[in-house]
């Protein structure tokens, strides 16, 4: 009983850490895409005012 509980606990901890890594990665990708979007808007505004 005790050993299975420890094994289950370890699986839960592993799953949580994997989820955390996944969220960190998706958050970073999200930030990069927002940054690219902002940069492209700045270029579009710059082109608009230059022409």
CA-to-CA separations, 22 to 6, 11, 17, 34, in angstroms, rounded: 24, 16, 9, 18
Can you tell me the distance from the alpha carbon of 38 to that of 32, in angstroms, rounded to the nearest whole number? 10
In this prediction, residue 2 carries a pLDDT of: 67
The reported pLDDT for the residue numbered 25 is: 92
Extract the tokens encoding 20.
């955390």
**Rounded average pLDDT per 10-residue block, the chain, 51 residues:** 80 91 92 94 83 67
Q: In this predicted structure, what is the pLDDT of residue 45?
A: 85
């Amino acid at each position: 009983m005790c050993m299975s509980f420890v094994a289950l606990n370890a699986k839960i901890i592993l799953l949580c850490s994997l989820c955390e890594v996944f969220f960190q990665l998706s958050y970073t990708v999200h930030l990069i895409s927002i940054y690219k979007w902002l940069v492209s808007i700045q270029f579009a505004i710059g082109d608009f005012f230059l022409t």
